[in-house]
């Protein structure tokens, strides 16, 4: 699958107001900003990219032009680019609305019994509670073992084996 990076241009001065990454017909689909009716105001900055290449270029272009919501530039983008919503600025009002919606739907209620269980589970974490020797040994083995996803990628971990 090939990806592309595109820009929506303003009618008035042809400056970009939105930078995006897509594949297929994404450029013409629904967005958080208005899609230009005049297709000559849609510019493909680069095509035939890999997903990683498109993500990198999108982030670079958004950083270059800057975002209005952060006061750094001219784009209406709500994120720094790339996947997900990294760098998205959410207003206090929006957060309060989201919480109110969750509460209204029953998705935000935590029973007293659940709170107690959570409290008991977390009571020993990061509070200086000493771990047993067996627990410490298991943690060490997990970090040094070959099943660790970082095994061999960190210079001081190269060549270490579980039974070393």
Q: CA–CA separation, 143 vs 54, rounded Å?
A: 34
Per-residue pLDDT at 162: 47
- Asked if residue 77 lies in contact with residue 21, where contact means CB atoms within 8 angstroms, the answer is no
pLDDT digits (tens, 9 = 90+) for 61-91: 999 999 998 999 999 998 888 765 545 677 8
pTM above 0.75, yes or no: no
* Burial class of 73 by CB neighbour count within 10 A (0 to 12, 13 to 18, 19+): middle
Per-residue pLDDT at 48: 95
Q: Which residues of the chain have pLDDT under 50?
A: 86, 156-158, 160-164
């Amino acid at each position: 699958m090939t990806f592309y990076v595109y820009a929506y241009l303003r009618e008035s001065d042809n400056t970009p107001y939105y930078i995006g990454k897509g594949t297929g017909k994404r450029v013409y689909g629904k967005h958080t900003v208005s899609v230009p009716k005049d297709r000559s105001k849609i510019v493909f900055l680069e095509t035939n990219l890999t997903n990683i290449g498109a993500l990198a270029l999108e982030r670079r272009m958004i950083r270059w032009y800057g975002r209005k919501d952060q006061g750094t530039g001219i784009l209406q983008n709500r994120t720094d680019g790339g996947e997900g919503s990294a760098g998205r600025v959410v207003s206090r009002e929006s957060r309060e609305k989201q919480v109110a919606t969750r509460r209204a739907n029953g998705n935000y209620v935590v029973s007293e019994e659940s709170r107690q269980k959570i409290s008991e589970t977390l009571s020993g974490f990061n509070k200086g509670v000493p771990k047993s020797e067996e627990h410490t040994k298991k943690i060490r083995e997990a970090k040094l073992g070959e099943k660790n996803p970082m095994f061999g990628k960190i210079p001081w971990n190269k060549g270490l084996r579980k039974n070393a």
